[in-house]
Chains A and B, each alone.
Chain A
Amino acid sequence: MKRIASADELYALQKQLQKNRDPQKTVITICAGTGCRGLGCMQVKEALEAELKNQNLTEKVEIRATGCPGFCEKGPLVTILPQNIFYQQIKAADVSDIISKTVLKGEIVERLLYQNPDTAQTIVREQEVPFYKKQMRILLNNNELIDPTRLEDYLAIGGYSALATVLCNKTPDDVIREVKTAGLRGRGGGGFPTGVKWEQCRAAHGTEKYLIGNGDEGDPGAFMDRGIMEGNPHSIIEGMLIGAYAIGSQQGYLYVRNEYPLAIKHLSIALENAREAGLLGNNILGSGFSFDIIINRGGGAFVCGESSALFASIEGRSGEPRDKYIHAVEKGLWDKPTALNNVETWANVPLIINRGAEWYRSIGTEGSKGTKIFSLVGKINNTGLVEVPMGMTLREIIYDIGGGIPRERTFKAVQTGGPSGGCIPESMLDLPVDFDALAKAGSMMGSGGMIVMDDRSCMVDVARYFINFLQEESCGKCVPCREGLLRMGEIFADICEGRGREGDIELLLSMSAAIIDGALCALGSTAPNPVLSTIRYFRDEYEAHIKDKKCPAGVCKALIQYRVIPEKCKKCGACKKVCPADAITGELKELHAINPLTCIKCGACFEACKFDAVSIE
């Protein structure tokens, strides 16, 4: 792309690109995010291309590979514009129907539509799908409008207008005031007011300042940042440019985990295109302001999402946190003032500039403004990315958007905030989701992971999982985290394997307090949260494990036994067929029984039995 020399040139170009987009032209958008790729969307895309070529439609119909719109459960997702027909779970075999019927004849292929599980009715328009209906998608909606590898697409939807506005009409102080007024808080989990951070960084001594976009998303089950980095990389870059202008920084870094190759690819392409267009580099839009961004790939360490460990990693040292006796805004990367924000935070910035702080603060609750993207996973019908205004209740998210718990099981808890967060029980489902309410409940917003658990989830096992995860991810620098988490993991192993002792809960509580008090960084000091919250809300489950040597949820193998209920057994042999250990006796038409000595407690019989004749005790 030609270098854009001024704001006026940018506006002209945006107009031109908008004009070039024929609103009547048929566009097939297909989600090409990592989730849908896993479900085979690239084969669908290839099939679409081949079919269009066959039918000589390449000129008339455009295929747009977009980022993730969020509804991963039903991927691969395809939308036909301008009619806005929403197809889901598309396979390559469906392509000919899509082209021949929908594209050419305007007919709707019924079987590809989403069916409302409650009403059994099919739904044509995306926005009418319950999953989307209650969402407020101010960030994610753009994912569907653009091909993330094309700067033109971003410009065509008004991209970089916020940057132009800022460079032409606002002083750095104006920008900071705007962001402060908007009430934007850090989306990485800490929830620190972004504008305040920028203000401190701007006021910090020195002319060399750094800006970092933290894309080292590592919470198990969380992929919000990936959705933005893959689907709309320019929004992050634009946000960082505005931040850089506000703070007075010349150099930014994007720290992206290496396990996100597609995000890295899309960000790299975006940076290159922006640089070529003069939106990065020297004298951006002729304003005299200069800024550039380098991508740093993370090496797979969870702790490198922690700011000081992240700095160390960028500096080429091993990713270990250091005591933050001096704030990063004064002494961060290379000991220079540094503003580190999560990529989602950065992506919010252009919205605030474009639509105003007042508009932004009208969304959300008293203390938490705007929207938040959550990745809804676990025992939930509609797995995917959801973007909701702050303050929506957990119940609305889980039931209205998430579609509730599958297989008619009952909801037990939702884990929010990743390994640093906690588990929230059923009784608190009407909790509004914002920074402060979640913290009060013993969990945290975190970066937006939301793992739903049903009655078949053992809360002791969940806590054990997170402790083991963090123990493996502990850098090993400070004693409480290095040694303490290991020992907590051992206590959990004892509890879950039937060696629990009276006093183990108290020991876990005491260790938790010691780690919270003593650990060097947030990884350690928040690590006990899953333990504390599960003990707080599910103490009876711990006690069952320790005292009765039972796992009520039937998860901890050492504590359970599979048994055939003779009254219910229909002697069909289904269980015997799937048993990998040959532990089930009884030929066809004979009563089955499970030999506890050879049973490996895999649960295959339980899943296979259609008559609920296998019980877990």
Chain B
Amino acid sequence: MIRLTIDNKEVVTEDGATILEAAARAGIRIPTLCYHEKLQPFGACRICVVEVEQMKGRLTPSCSTPATEGMVVRTSSEQIIKARKTVLELLLIQHPLDCPWCDKGGECQLQNLTYEYGVSRNRFKDKKSDHPVDYLSPLVERNTNRCVLCGMCVRVCDEVVGASEWSMVNRGISTKIATDFDRPLNCEFCGECENICPVGALTNRMFKFKARAWEVENVSTVCSFCSTGCAIKLSLKDGRIVRALGEEEGAANQGSLCIKGRFGYEYVMSGERISRPLVRKNGTLTPATWEEALQAVAEGLKAVKEQAGPGAVAGLCSARLTNEEAYLFQKLLRAVIGTNNVDNSGGYAHRGYSSGLSLPPLEFKDLQSCDRFLVIRSNVSETHPVVGYRVNVAVKQKGAQLIVADPRRIKLARFAQTYLAHKPGTEIALLNGLAHTILTEGLENREFVAARTEGIEELKKSLVQFTPSFVEQATGIAGKDLVEAARRFASGTRAAIIISAGMGFPGDDAALARCAANLALITGNAGKPGAGVLFLGEKSNSHGSVDMGAVPDLLPGPQELAKDPVRQAFAKAWGAAIAAEPGLTCEQIIAGAEQGSIKALYCAGENPLQAYPDTKKTKTAFGKLQFLVVQELFLTPTAQMAHVVLPAASFAEKDGTYTNAEGRVQRLHQALPPCGETKTDAEIFCRVAKALGKDLGSWNPAAVMAEIASLAPRYHAVSYATLTVKGHLLSDAADREAPGAEGAARFSLLPVDVIAPEAPSAEFPFTLLIGSTLFHCGTLSTRSSAICSVYPQARLEINPGDARALDIRDNDTVQVSSATGALTITAKIIARQSPGAVFIPYHFLSPAAQELASAAQLQTRVKIEKRTETSL
């Protein structure tokens, strides 16, 4: 710790803190223009200058000067004020002073400082700069006339986002912020640059001329897309959302957002929202009143339950329901209908964290203290961009070492010390190969293994076959590269393994999670901040949905259904018997529907016909249902098949909580009134229960959370009364410092089988990778026009060599077919795609990648043919 005096005040600060940071901690504000806590000090604006007694003679920039013991600092004096005023005066010579129509007006740092320092006159002649404004870039407008060259856009883009789209070009007075050759932006469109811009040089085009900053009302809530759980603020004017901002206080994101969070909210206000209940009459969905619709639902469900028993009813919910809603949904099925047939996320995408992983989740902020990363089956920069930023910061600013294993040369591979381009679907073999190498080379953390784990011998035995040469054959990774990666991983003191889940990935997440945990444990990466396995669920409440028991074998907590005392506790609380038999999984529900054993299905926000693999099969199965009720925002393909469609409120129209991938429970606040006649999912579930003659209790989210807290020990401390914008980190996550408290952490030692990927057949020579793009998440984002302006439709990503061999050029239309289906799609030739494999994002209705996939198989094999004019 360092002691210094700032403005006659004794200040104690940690080593390495700058004067600015020390002052901030002591509540002393020093003005800045080019400083941001997320970025490395830059020292360009010279607004933050202070006087340091020990550095007499010149003023000292407080943003970049470390505080030292005994330093005596003055943050304000005549000389300092004069220097700051001169800087402002100089900046205002060229600045256009077009504040009346500048969108940053009211929250512009230059404006505020000019006001604060009373710079009302300028000793210099006005010379307004007159650069053309860049109106060509999507989403972000660039007006360099207003720029103060603080460099924050350049630095956030490089140091945090890792896109390096902006740079300072030219020199001296001609310096400006530009892309290469001044072309329009072609980047990730996260908007971090416009958000950090202290003036109106970069502005949000969606917000342009929508409101003055002081007119809007900001509502704090949580982003509805991925499981990062970024805290956001929705700015409202006249009952409409005019922009989304990252919440600086947000613990998961510290104010950062990606394109989805910042520009993806429009779907909420889409004209395509279903605003009234629909009931199928004479074969067509017809608008109905809520009474009619609820009556129809009750009758439909009751009929099936009475005819075929509760086991013929099933429910699938979206991982975007709030915790309270997911809880009510499974309660509706378990306590009112009487079945455990409830699942989410295709039944397979949640298995990594619902049944595979035995380690507590990692806290995102701790990633920045990691010195090793293994990123495997995770294009984290695209699936969870803001988590990706943390990895960037650790690697680019703090020198952490990065190992990336991915068949596609993903963004992180650019910063990686080791990049392993393995064959698709062979992640497990690769992880086991790493573990094998570490154990045979004696690189494991013996002390940790001995003290905190069990079963090392069995693990060793089960890993015997994963020799480098075996792994090389399985994965295509050269033995020496595997060994190098293993040594690199094992040499760290704090390593995180990052894996993304999603409905595009094959369903072996549980085994993958176990192997990753093995690797983390043998290297001692557990029980300390930032060390372990980060399994990232796909959607905003992927983790909460599992916690709330929206899966067939878990009750809220999650607690094991199989355990009698658990079941009894719930039975008592709910006043209903709970079947001991686990329910059917998604796959079994769909299979059951096809075979006729499932007759009624309740889809709450879930859209299997677009998001689940093997669309054709699902469609056939759903066609056989006696009763299908779909609760949705939009008339999705699944809703179109429904007997009753119940219009639901979006995330912006309701209160509730989400639990993110680090186990943080965060609060949603209602920003807008429900659209049309829509109701929150919670209210609908309660009304459906009522129509069925049962009481689910209050749908008030606070009351539901109180009920959850009383039944789920992990959620005991969660209460609406105490939830702040920082959320609540669930206890197992908070306790990770001492997982040994209840005994040594357990090794999961399930012997691992090698699943040899099928060799490409002559008929289907390519492996199809399905997944998410940076710009979309699930299927909702395709309803946001801003996002679609950047990424309007799915394209087939194919390696240049493969494209050449097939005579495919960029933007050619190609036909892709697999054993289960076929589609036509535009080709995009891209070097990051590995040869022999192609990639299609799955978000879109058409072409829908999931038509080609099969839930039964880990790999989808396809053939690709160029479509000629005549064949069209």
Chain A residues near B (Cβ < 8 Å): 301, 318, 322-323, 325-326, 471-480, 482-484, 486-487, 490, 507, 510-511, 514, 516-520, 525
Contacts and interface: CB of A to CB of B under 8 A. Distances in A.
B717 interface: no
B175 A325 contact: no
24 contacts: A323-B61, A325-B41, A325-B65, A471-B172, A472-B172, A474-B173, A475-B172, A476-B170, A477-B151, A478-B44, A479-B44, A480-B87, A483-B93, A483-B94, A483-B173, A484-B86, A487-B90, A490-B124, A514-B86, A517-B59, A518-B49, A518-B59, A518-B83, A520-B61
Interface string B302-339: 00000000000000000000000000000000000000
A492 B261 CA distance: 51
B65 A323 contact: yes
Sort A-B residue pairs by CB-CB distance and give the 4 closest, nearest first: A476-B175, A323-B43, A483-B90, A323-B64
A322 B151 CA distance: 13
Given A478-B43, A479-B90, A487 B172 contact: no
Nearest to B49: A518
Contacts of B90: 479-480, 483-484, 487
B65 to A, nearest CB: 5
Given A323-B43, A517-B49, A318 B168 contact: yes
A581 B45 CA distance: 49
Contacts of A480: 46, 86-87, 90
Interface string B16-49: 0010000000000000000000000111111001
Interface string B126-162: 0000000000000000000000110100000000000
Contacts of B712: none
Interface of B: 18, 41-46, 49, 58-59, 61, 64-66, 79, 82-83, 86-87, 90-91, 93-94, 123-125, 148-149, 151, 168, 170-175
Nearest to A477: B44
Contacts of B58: 516-517, 525
A472 B171 CA distance: 8
A490 B125 contact: yes
A534 to B, nearest CB: 21
A318 B124 CA distance: 30
Given A323-B65, A517-B49, A520-B46, A476 B172 contact: yes
Contact of B174 (A473, A476, A517): A476
Nearest to B58: A517
A507 B58 CA distance: 19
Nearest to A518: B46
Chain A binding surface SS class = helix
Contacts of A486: 173
B44 A520 contact: yes
Nearest to A514: B86
Given A482-B149, A517-B49, A487 B124 contact: yes
A482 B124 contact: no
A323 to B, nearest CB: 4
Contacts of A516: 58
Contacts of A519: 46
Contacts, number: 97
Nearest to B45: A479
Q: Which of A482, A490, A510, A519 has the largest count of B CB atoms less than 10 A from its CB?
A: A482
Identify which of B90, B124, B125 gathers the most chain A CB atoms within 10 Å of its CB.
Answer: B90
B124 A322 contact: no
B758 to A, nearest CB: 46
A520 B124 contact: no
Given A478-B43, A483-B90, A487-B93, A514 B64 contact: no
Given A325-B64, A480-B87, A518-B83, A475 B171 contact: yes
A484 B86 CA distance: 9
A526 to B, nearest CB: 11
A591 B83 CA distance: 59
Contacts of A474: 171-173
Contact of B172 (A326, A473, A507): A473
A203 B477 CA distance: 44
Contact of B123 (A318, A472, A482, A507): A507
A486 B173 CA distance: 7
Nearest to A476: B175
Contact of B45 (A471, A478, A507): A478
B579 to A, nearest CB: 63
Contact of A520 (B43, B86, B94, B170): B43
Considering residues A490, A510, A514, which has the most beta carbons from chain B within 10 angstroms of its beta carbon?
Answer: A514
Contacts of B94: 483
Residue among A475, A490, A517 with most chain B CB within 10 A: A517
A518 B87 contact: yes
Contacts of B172: 471-476, 482
Contacts of B125: 490
B88 to A, nearest CB: 9
A170 B761 CA distance: 72
A316 B44 CA distance: 20
A516 B46 CA distance: 12
A165 to B, nearest CB: 40
Contacts of A476: 149, 168, 170-175
Given A476-B172, A479-B45, A479-B149, 4 more contacts: A323-B61, A325-B41, A478-B43, A478-B44
Contacts of B64: 322-323, 325
Contact of A322 (B43, B86, B175): B43
B91 A479 contact: yes
A510 B42 CA distance: 25
Nearest to A324: B64
A489 to B, nearest CB: 10
A427 to B, nearest CB: 27
A308 B86 CA distance: 25
B168 to A, nearest CB: 7
Contacts of B46: 478-480, 518-520
Contacts of B168: 318, 476
Contacts of A326: 66
A483 B171 contact: no
A507 B61 CA distance: 24
Contacts of B82: 514
B173 A482 contact: yes
Contacts of B41: 323, 325
A484 B89 CA distance: 10
A565 to B, nearest CB: 40
A518 B61 CA distance: 8
B175 to A, nearest CB: 4
Contacts of A325: 18, 41, 64-66
A318 B64 CA distance: 20
Nearest to B86: A514
Contacts of A510: 86
A483 to B, nearest CB: 4
A490 B93 CA distance: 13
Given A323-B61, A517-B49, A517-B79, A301 B171 contact: yes
A270 to B, nearest CB: 32
A252 B153 CA distance: 34
Contacts of A511: 86
Contacts of B87: 479-480, 514, 518
A281 to B, nearest CB: 28
A476 B42 CA distance: 13
Nearest to A488: B124
A483 B94 CA distance: 9
Contacts of A487: 90, 93, 124
Contacts of A479: 44-46, 87, 90-91, 148-149
Contacts of B173: 471, 474, 476, 482-483, 486
B83 A517 contact: yes
Nearest to A484: B90
Contacts of B45: 478-479
B43 to A, nearest CB: 4
Contacts of A514: 82-83, 86-87
A138 B65 CA distance: 41
